[in-house]
Amino acid sequence: MSPLPRLFYVTSGLDPANAFATWRAVISPLFEPHPCGPFKKTPTGSAYGIIIGDLIIAKVAFNAQNFLRDGELIAATPDHLLLHLYVSGGFNGVVTRQPTTIGPGKVALIDLACPIATRAFASNTVCLIVPRRLLGELPLQSLKPRLDSFRNDLLAAHMLSLLERSAQLTSADVAATVAETVDFLQRLLAAEPDQSLAQRGSDETVLTLAEALIRDNLALAELSPDWLALQLEVSRASLYRLFASRGGIMRYVQERRLLAVQAALSDPLETRRLSRLAADLGFKSEAHFSRAFRGRFEMTASAYRKSQLEASSTIKLTNPAVVQQWWMTVSAQAAEPSG
């Protein structure tokens, strides 16, 4: 099965003029970037992502800058929904018809049918772009730029999981992945806060939050069934039942650690040494890490990193026309009558 198209825009090694030109071209369907603050530093950023059929998921980092989307840009580009998770940094300004402040751990729901004027801090983010047509009858015109804390955490967990899985997806996975994500978003965005709270104890919700807790705390010494049960306010028996199909809780934790290492070693923006990476992701020793990685992937971690670096050295910056074509192609599909 063929791998999915990748987007690779790293501007950190470019001179300021080329860095700005590349960054501006990449995000031109969304915003117009402008310098901000007293020093008026040139707006730049980097993005590494995957096109999953009608979706784009990407890891995006940028310096402090203003983002603007006016009527002219709205008229010229598709009005998709941008879900923007700020891992660090944030912004304040107007999105989705409301003055909004977004900080670390929060997802901004940005309706691109509306004008945007924000001042963003230097940030590391995860970006999910969803065509409006996929969301069916959802009343997006009444969408607010922030969800309640419970739904925000579910959405953040889903986005981070999708980003982690995206590098391993192939063309055979596209239809199911898009359908799963769209179904999740339709249920999440249609629910009122009180309804979502009522779903807090459902198996699906507990499993999603448990997976997020594990992913966010891989280095925690206390990470165990008892710790998870305490954090989620459920019984150990319930957790064991939910993770039975995954081989058990601690086996799942070990798998997540190994997949997190693999994803990090595949990321051209990742610079941590292997020893630091292993410690950051919860391996007790380098020897334990080395044995586990080799057993899972049938090669050493250093050999895997070398292969990824060699592959990355042959990668050129993706032409901005690739992402621009995606925007317009998906938009054209939205205008086509259904069969």
Domains and CATH numbers, the chain: 1-200 (2.60.120.10), 217-314 (1.10.10.60)
Burial of 102 (0-12, 13-18, 19+ CB in 10 A): buried
Distance, in Å, from the CA atom of 28 to the CA atom of 22, rounded to the nearest integer, reads 10
Task: For residue 103, give both structure tokens.
Answer: 């900080």
In terms of Cα–Cα distance, which of 174, 177, 248, 233 is closest to 200? Answer: 233
Using only C-alpha atoms, what is the Rg of the chain?
Answer: 21
pLDDT in tens, 281-323: 899 888 999 999 999 999 999 999 888 777 665 556 677 888 7
Q: What is the mean pLDDT of residues 191-214?
A: 71
Contact 89, 66 (CB under 8 A): no
**Whole-number Å distance between alpha carbons of 55 and 49:** 10
**Structure confidence at residue 83 (pLDDT):** 97
Name the pLDDT band for 335 (thresholds 50, 70, 90).
Answer: very low
Output the pLDDT for position 338.
Answer: 38
| Highest mean pLDDT: which range of 13-17, 152-156, 210-214 | 152-156
Question: pLDDT-derived band of residue 194, with 50, 70 and 90 as boundaries?
Answer: low
Q: How far apart are CA 311 and CA 170, in angstroms?
A: 18
**Model confidence at 226: pLDDT above 90:** yes
Each residue's pLDDT tens digit, 243-269: 998 889 999 999 989 988 888 887 766
CB atoms within 10 A of CB 9: 23
Percentage of the chain lying above the pLDDT 70 cut? 91
What's the distance, CA 337 to chain centroid? 31
* pLDDT, tens only, 76-132: 988 899 999 999 999 999 999 999 999 999 999 999 999 999 999 999 999 999 999
